[in-house]
Structure 1
Amino acid sequence: MTGSSISGVYVRFKPHILMILAQIAFSFLFIITEASFNHGLNPFVYITYRHIVGGLFTLPFAYFIERKIRRKLTLALFLEIFVLSLLSVSLTLNMYFTSLNYTSPTLVACMTNTVASLTFILAVILRLEEVNVRSPHGIAKTLGAGVSLAGVMMMTLYKGPSMKDLGYTLIHIEGATTVVQKNWLKGSLLAIASCITWSICYILQTYTLKRYPAQLSLTTWINFVGAAQSAVFTVIVQHKQAAWTVGFNIDLWSILYGGVVISGMVTFFQLWCTEAKGPVFMTMFNPLSTLLVALLAYFVLGEKLYVGSILGGITVVVGLYLLLWGKEHDEVEKKLKENDEKKTLPLPSDENDLKGEP
């Protein structure tokens, strides 16, 4: 392949590559945060510190790279960013981690993986995503969203026979504790609420990026504002000063990884892909992290891998392919239609000038 053809392929599949890298990053986040929480790190303190680190990481890039394209921050725009930070950081993540204390990780994982389908439904209602049920591409998009959701449900609710134990563990996480089911109803409601706010957040990002098309600057603002909101909440629910102390151990590495990679780089990737491809495209890659976490836990942590996870993962990939295929062909048809409309526009003529008409 020539250099130009490789460059063309990269430009075409750049959003896909970024989203796959994002899901790989989320998979490693699962291991490192589980280790730090078992070590004693408070989840609410983790959220606050992580987004402070994320804001500090993206700040210099946003300041120098986007200083010419960054728009003036008005009060209305700041309030919009405030709400966006509330939905993407402080409110959503704190509800998510609180729901884990009241229910089980399996239930929460099942619910959070429905964010893609919820976002798809909201995008269709708000006409951010076009679905023509008479078109094969529209049918593929709808069917893909449904198949992907079915695969997620299979991964989380159906186990089946377990795979053969590898007999070794590359990484051993100590201090694992069993989740105490204090209030199943309360935890379920919090998990559902976090999924809804996540979906609304991804939709809101689409509108905010139109008024503030500077992804690095928006990432920085979301991190700092979200960290401030989370800090206020954490101070209210966590009065012990010792909880805010982080030593030079797994807790620090967890915060640095979450801040630099997830809150910094991955958030920027998501905003870029949201502006380029829309919120549905970005969220449809989320279930891949569930499959990657299951494989990572099996090969690295030595945990059991069940047939249900494998079958569910294959189903998710099939659904994702159907949706991406339908979306890709819809975009091609849309561009062809726009080009045809441009060609049919009347060309400027000098006849009016010859007649002396305006």
Structure 2
Amino acid sequence: MALKAFTSGDLYRRFKPHLLMVLAQIGYTFLYFITEASFEHGMNPHVYITYRHIVAGVVMLPFAYFLERKQRPKLTIALFAEIFILSVLGVGLTLNMYFASLRYTSPTFLASMVNTIASLTFIIAVALRLEDLDLGNPRVIAKVVGTLVSLAGVMTMTLYKGPIMAFTLKRYPAQLSLTTWMSFVGAAQSAFFTVIVEHRKSAWTMGFNIDFWSTVYGGVVVSGLIVFIQLWCTEVKGPVFVTMFNPLSTILVAILAYFVLGEKLYLGSILGAAVVIIGLYSLL
């Protein structure tokens, strides 16, 4: 019995990162649907981004403050400028475009597009000479083929019915604190942008309905809990391990969209998703 208990505990410790990443992808899957329901209810995507990251910043602030007091470096003007740019690319600009596109596409398409992040990152890294393009190296050839196949899969789904900012992490290694700063700065940037494009004061009003719950879910679960899970798994298993689970969300979204929302599942969607996943794993 003792040996069995030890074996079970050992298996749990061994596969704990895998289990957490599966739960994270399930969390992302529900995010697509709850935000789409909120947008159909009338929630402005830009207001949603602003409120969501205010919630995320407030939730993560005490954890960042108490857990990283000794490792948090001094915030200089230059470092804050880097965080500001990182917030633009990671929150203010990217997420506003990301969720605005949900109004014009579908959860399945949006989840599939996430799988191109690794491919596009590789292309940008090569263009900026952060990655060597040695075609005599089999590993590089696999990356190139995986990139092309992954992008081809997205094109199939569509038509057939900056480098990674790791430089800031090196200068500001307190990840929880960095995420908290990005949440607050990104929320401010999103609010500034929203004021320009949205002149209705009523758009900022939120009742105790799907709009409220989608904001709380996005802020607490996704920008809080899931980000923490990804940071922990990245530290334990590495960033490639975390990226490998992205296709799971694509599959789950496609299944739920078909059975729950009655979204039409075209042959091109199935083939495109399969090609994207194959390309992604070839790249990784």
Preserved CA contact (<8 Å) 2:147 2:283: yes
CA distance in 1, matches of 2:9, 2:217: 35
Q: Which runs of 5+ in 2 are unaligned?
A: 1-5
Q: Secondary structure at the residue paired with 1:203?
A: coil
Deviations 1:76-135 (A, max 9, x none): 11111011111111122233455566x6559x8476654332211122344554554323
Q: Does 1:235 align with 2:231?
A: no
Q: Where does residue 301 of structure 1 map in the other structure? A: 261
Tell me the matched-pair count.
277
Contact 1:50 1:259 in 2 (8 A): yes
| Correspondence 1:183-222 to 2 at 5 A | 200=162, 203-204=164-165, 206-222=166-182
1:266 aligns with 2:268: no
Offset at 1:151? Answer: 2.3
CA distance in 2 between partners of 1:113 and 1:33 (Å): 20
State how 1:145-156 maps to structure 2 within 5 Å. Answer: 145-156=147-158
Percent identical pairs in the alignment equals 66
TM-score by length of 2: 0.82
Change (3 A) 1:144 1:207: same
Q: Per-residue deviation at 1:67?
A: 1.3
Task: Supply the distance in 2 between the matched residues of 1:255 and 1:266 (Cα, whole angstroms).
Answer: 15
Deviates more, 1:131-140 or 1:269-278: 269-278
What whole-Å deviation, never above 9, does each CA across 1:39-93 have from its counterpart, x for those lacking one? 1111111111000011111111111111121111111111110111111111222
Other-structure match for 1:26 = 28
The equivalent of 2:126 in structure 1 is: 124
- Residues in 1 aligned to 2:20 and 2:126: alpha-carbon distance in whole angstroms: 24
- TM-score for both structures, normalised by structure 1: 0.67
Matches within 5 A, 1:96-107: 96-98=98-100, 104=105
- The residue number in structure 2 matching 1:248 is 208
Match for 1:77 among 68, 76, 79?
A: 79
**Equivalent residues of 2:56, 2:224 under 8 A apart:** yes
Q: Aligned partners of 2:213 and 2:98: how far apart in 1? A: 21
- Give 1:213 shift: 1.0
Cα deviation, 1:235-262, whole Å, max 9, x if unaligned, reads: 2322322211111111111001111122
For 1:6, give the aligned amino acid: L
Within 1, Cα distance between the matches of 2:130 and 2:241? 11
Q: Which is greater in Rg?
A: 1
Secondary structure in 1 aligned to 2:66? helix
Q: Could you tell me which of 222, 226, 239 is aligned with 2:186?
A: 226
Q: Is the 8 A contact 1:219 1:264 kept in 2?
A: no
Unaligned residue ranges in structure 1 (runs of 5+): 160-199, 325-358
Checking the alignment, whether the CA contact within 8 Å between 2:56 and 2:180 is kept in structure 1 is yes
Answer yes or no: is the 8 Å Cα contact 1:23–1:286 preserved in 2: yes
What's the CA shift for 1:230?
1.1
- Contact 2:156-2:272 at 8 Å conserved across structures: yes
Q: Structure 1's 267 and 282: CA in aligned 2 closer, same or farther, altered over 3 A?
A: same
Q: Is 2:148 aligned against 1:157?
A: no
Supply the distance in 1 between the matched residues of 2:122 and 2:241 (Cα, whole angstroms): 9
The one-letter code sitting in structure 2 at the alignment partner of 1:203 is I
Relative distance call for 1:236 and 1:314 in structure 2 (3 A) is closer
Q: Please give the per-residue CA displacement for 1:314-343, whole angstroms capped at 9, x wherever unaligned.
A: 22332233233xxxxxxxxxxxxxxxxxxx
Q: CA RMSD in A?
A: 3.2
* In 2: Cα distance, 1:238 partner to 1:96 partner: 17
Identify if the C-alpha distance between structure 1 residues 126 and 288 changes in structure 2 by more than 3 Å, giving closer, same or farther: farther
Report the 3-state secondary structure (helix = DSSP H, G, I; strand = E; otherwise coil) of the residue aligned with 2:216: helix
| Correspondence for 1:6 | 11
CA distance in 1, matches of 2:25, 2:217: 14
Instruction: Give the conservation status (yes or no) of the 8 Å contact 2:142–2:282.
Output: yes
1:115 counterpart residue number: 117
